Amino acid sequence: MFADEVVIKIKAGDGGNGIVSWERQKYVAKGGPGGGDGGDGGDVIFRANKDIATLSFYTTNKYLKAESGQAGRSHKKTGKGGEDLVLEVPVGTIVIDIVTKEILADLIEDKAEVPVVVGGEGGFGNAHFTSSVRQAPEISELGEPGEEKEIKLELKLVADVGLVGLPNIGKSTLLSVVTKARPKIADYPFTTIIPNLGVVDRLPDGKVPDNFGFVIADIPGLIKGAALGNGLGDEFLRHIERTRVIVHLIDAVSSSFSKDYLTINEELKSFNPDILLKPSIIAISRADLLSADELQKKIKEFTKEAKIKDKIYTFSGVTRQGLNDLLFKINDLLIKNPRKFETKVEEFKKFTLKDRVSGFDVIKEKNYYIISGPKIDKFAIRTDFDMKAPMYRFRHILKRLGVENELRKQGARDGDKIKVAGKEFEFQED
């Protein structure tokens, strides 16, 4: 099944919890702290794979999660980190954040990969909190949760050449003749219902010219109103956006070359005006169905009506007439218009809790106070509120950052409910 657009949820692995553990060492209080840190959670990474042609895997796999890190171990050993989850997608896949509409990754090169959600950091074990004044800490941290996003995967084929035109005019036949692709061909509209790709690496007679070769895409036939959803065109017009050259096919037996040409151009313009700025070639298909005189007469009328100045190419997929000239012209245009973009993985930064800005806010809401701020949230997430020692540390952090003073200014008293990072505790006066 072909799929070029799908919405899924992805989650990075959670960080493992740090632990409280004691070594059995003589002359050291309680044997000395030996609790190790938790392992980091795995990332979810998208990787482009040229051997994959569809997003169909994700139509039945809607929630995908990386492995979480393991808890810390005794003897100061760090827990095992979670394995990254590598999700392979076709070359040309765009990853979009559903909430922010931001493009998180644009994978247009084979094997390019981008981490889209990042695993949580593991919490510290009590061995981490040893100091000259605190030689037997009973403090450990929880691991941070992994990032989670709802994303849209959108495939835009990365082809050099796009074949466009009305349904049933010979696009699939041309593709089958000049490449090894075998699209469905029949004598009725919309035979092609998915985009087909093929590699042109030689001429129809088997010869391989120097500096010759390109990828060509057969886009399902467009009709009037395609950009608004009529026919099949609205689903596949996006695949034309990345092509470098457009080959506009017109059926030799059409009653009006001009009408067909202008209809398709209007749909391309409605979808994305930039498509019309691409180098293009007009080619008349099925030229063997008319005499040379009839064909030249129709071409002359067409160039006058549509004000076409460029050369019009003619060909037949059955007799191979005119194919060499057409393919050489396509290859020449591609050489003159090299691809101008590439995947820049370094642009997609990995964000973690420690990247966020410090500062805090305190808001009074009915019967409780809400504390928020990057640093506060970070420590709250990593603190087990049910444990006495970690909670004592968290209150000390609030005091050091000035949060307790702000709570008092806003009227907080013993026993008042405080909420932070989805957790709750009671305010205590010193």
User: Token pair for residue 70?
Assistant: 């393991």
Taking the CB of residue 95, how many other CB atoms lie within 10 A of it?
Answer: 23
322 and 362 belong to one structural domain:
no
Residue 105 near residue 114 (C-beta atoms within 8 A): yes
342-367 pLDDT, tens digit per residue, is 444 444 444 444 444 457 889 998 88
- Whether 292 is covered by a domain: the verdict is yes
- Whether 247 is covered by a domain: the verdict is yes
Residue 189 near residue 209 (C-beta atoms within 8 A): no
Q: What is the CATH number of the domain that holds 98?
A: 2.70.210.12
- Per the structure, the count of domains in the chain is 3
292 and 376 belong to one structural domain:
no
145 and 182 belong to one structural domain:
no
CA–CA separation, 17 and 41 (whole Å): 11
Residue 250 near residue 169 (C-beta atoms within 8 A): yes
258 and 406 belong to one structural domain:
no
38 and 87 belong to one structural domain:
yes
pLDDT in the model for residue 86: 97
CA–CA separation, 140 and 153 (whole Å): 39
Strands 214-218 and 196-200 come out as antiparallel
Would you mind telling me the total number of residues written for the chain in this entry? Answer: 430
pLDDT, mean over the chain: 83
Nearest CA-CA partner of 40 in 78, 6, 12, 82: 82
282 has a pLDDT exceeding 70? yes
CA–CA separation, 352 and 346 (whole Å): 16
42 and 143 belong to one structural domain:
yes
- Whether 343 is covered by a domain: the verdict is no
194 has a pLDDT exceeding 90? no
Residue 39 near residue 16 (C-beta atoms within 8 A): yes
Average pLDDT over residues 254-279: 89
64 and 106 belong to one structural domain:
yes
- Whether 308 is covered by a domain: the verdict is yes
Question: Which of 237 and 333 is assigned the larger pLDDT?
Answer: 333
67 has a pLDDT exceeding 80? yes
pLDDT in the model for residue 233: 46
Question: Which of 133, 155, 177 delimits the end of a domain?
Answer: 155
318 and 407 belong to one structural domain:
no
Q: Which residues contact 157 (CB under 8 A, 6 or more apart)?
A: 92, 195, 197, 217, 239, 242
User: Token pair for residue 17?
Assistant: 């919890």
371 has a pLDDT exceeding 90? yes
- Whether 140 is covered by a domain: the verdict is yes
Q: What single letter denotes the amino acid at residue 190?
A: F
387 has a pLDDT exceeding 70? yes
198 and 146 belong to one structural domain:
no
Question: Which of 139, 155, 171 delimits the end of a domain?
Answer: 155
Domain of residue 363: give its range.
Answer: 356-426
DSSP state of 116: E
20 and 74 belong to one structural domain:
yes
Q: What is the pTM of this model?
A: 0.65
- Whether 199 is covered by a domain: the verdict is yes
Q: What is the CATH number of the domain that holds 373?
A: 3.30.300.350
pLDDT in the model for residue 72: 93
| Least confident stretch, 61-70, 81-90, 219-228, 293-302 | 219-228
Question: Which of 286, 306, 336 delimits the end of a domain?
Answer: 336
- Whether 110 is covered by a domain: the verdict is yes
150 and 166 belong to one structural domain:
no
CA–CA separation, 375 and 238 (whole Å): 43
Strands 5-11 and 148-155 come out as antiparallel
